[in-house]
Amino acid sequence: MASRRIERVNELIKEEIASLLQREIRDPRLSSLISITHVETSSDLRNATVGVSILGTEEEVKQAMIAIRRAAGFFRKQLAGRLSLRNAPELNFKLDTSIEEGARVLKLLREIEEGQGGETDESGS
C-alpha cells in the first residue's frame, strides 16, 4: 500500500501532466481526447508510471503514444519546477485501455438490455 505522501505525489503529478497536456503541448498528434488515468510512483520517488487513455483510431492512439513518450523529458522538467520534490521522477507512459473497455462493456449491456426489452414486450402481448 502506498504511503500518504506517495498518494499525494501521485495525484499532483497526475494533475500537473493533465494541465500541461491541455495548456502547453501543441503537438498535432496529441489532439485526440487524452486522459491521465493514474500515476504510480515508486517509494523512492525516482520513477513514475503514468496511465494514459486515448480515444481515437488505432493509428491516432499509436501516434499519440509516440508523441507523449517523446515529451517525457519536457513533462519531467516542468514537474521539477512545479512540485516541491528534490528530484522529479523519471516518467514512463503506459497506455491504459480501461476507459475504452468500460465503454465497450456498457455498449454491450445496452444492446443486451434493448434485445431483452423487445422480447419482454412481445411475450407480454
CB atoms closer than 10 angstroms to residue 3:
9
Please report the pLDDT score of residue 101 as a whole number: 81
Please report the pLDDT score of residue 85 as a whole number: 80
Please report the pLDDT score of residue 115 as a whole number: 83
DSSP one-letter code for 71 = T
Q: Output the pTM of the full model.
A: 0.78
CA distances from 53 to 22, 64, 76, 97, 100 (A): 14, 10, 19, 6, 8
Domains in the chain: ranges and CATH = 4-97 (3.30.300.20)
Q: pLDDT tier at 1 (50, 70, 90 boundaries)? A: low
